[in-house]
């Protein structure tokens, strides 16, 4: 039976997805169970299965949403813009993603570490297409002398690695920093701007 798109049903779906995000980001796909998700959602399993056909459907829905959100900042890089501002806008967007969506970031990391069995088509499809587009923009800026010459693919990898660290390794960062830095993402943004643009300054 198709689920009607009423307000109450949309709210129930969101409750289930939020509960599933918590369970999947802590346990991965294999370690998560429908019983765990139903318990966190405060629903019976049969009630939950009225909205989603099974664990696989819930998981793929979360991954699809996550990738759409994750790719938007990359889509926004403007070839006509200032290289410094455009790259920093992307870095800041990625840091905000780590601030606002740490569970989504961890879920993505778990999926990748497990070989991306449910994302492989997206990684070499939509993601690769956007990365190739961004690489073309970065290379054009480098050829014009507006950025220092560097491998543009590894520039993107470095941005991903440094920004996602603030979500995926937040526990480690809190242990190291203690009370010294209550807002490491803001501090990190300032550091990353200096780090990247000393290296990318064409002068």
Average pLDDT of the chain to the nearest whole number: 91
**Mean pLDDT, rounded, for 22-34:** 93
Q: Rounded distance, CA 203 to CA 201, Å?
A: 6
| 57, 101 Cβ separation under 8 angstroms | no
Is residue 4 very low, low, confident or very high in pLDDT (cuts 50, 70, 90)?
Answer: low
Burial class (CB in 10 A: 0-12, 13-18, 19+), 150: middle
Output the pTM of the full model.
Answer: 0.86
pLDDT in tens, 29-60: 999 999 999 999 999 999 999 999 999 999 99
The correct answer on CATH 1.10.10.60 for the domain covering 1-53 is yes
**Mean pLDDT, rounded, for 56-74:** 90
Has residue 3 got a pLDDT over 50?
no
pLDDT in tens, 78-133: 999 999 999 999 999 999 999 999 999 999 999 999 898 888 778 888 889 999 99
Strand residues in the chain grouped as ranges (E) = none
End-to-end CA distance of the chain, in Å?
64
| 49, 2 Cβ separation under 8 angstroms | no
Q: Where are the domains of the chain?
A: 1-53, 64-200
Q: Rounded distance, CA 92 to CA 176, Å?
A: 23
Q: Supply the CATH classification number for the domain 64-200.
A: 1.10.357.10
Is residue 1 very low, low, confident or very high in pLDDT (cuts 50, 70, 90)?
Answer: very low
């Amino acid at each position: 039976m198709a689920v009607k798109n009423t307000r109450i049903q949309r709210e129930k779906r969101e409750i289930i997805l939020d509960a599933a995000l918590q369970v999947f980001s802590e346990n991965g796909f294999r370690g998560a169970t429908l019983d765990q998700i139903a318990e966190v959602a405060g629903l019976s399993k049969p009630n939950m299965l009225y909205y989603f056909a099974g664990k696989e459907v819930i998981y793929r829905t979360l991954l699809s949403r996550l990738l759409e959100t994750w790719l938007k900042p990359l889509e926004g890089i403007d070839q006509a813009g200032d290289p410094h501002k455009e790259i920093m806008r992307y870095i800041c967007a990625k840091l905000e993603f780590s601030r606002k969506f740490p569970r989504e970031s961890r879920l993505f990391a778990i999926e990748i570490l497990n070989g991306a069995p449910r994302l492989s088509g997206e990684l070499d499809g939509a993601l690769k297409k956007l990365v190739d587009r961004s690489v073309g923009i970065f290379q054009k800026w480098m050829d014009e002398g507006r950025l220092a010459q560097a491998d543009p693919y590894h520039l993107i990898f470095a941005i991903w690695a440094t920004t996602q660290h603030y979500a995926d390794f937040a526990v480690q960062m809190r242990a190291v920093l203690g009370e010294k830095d209550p807002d490491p993402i803001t501090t990190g943004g300032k550091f990353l701007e200096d780090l990247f643009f000393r290296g990318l300054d064409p002068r």
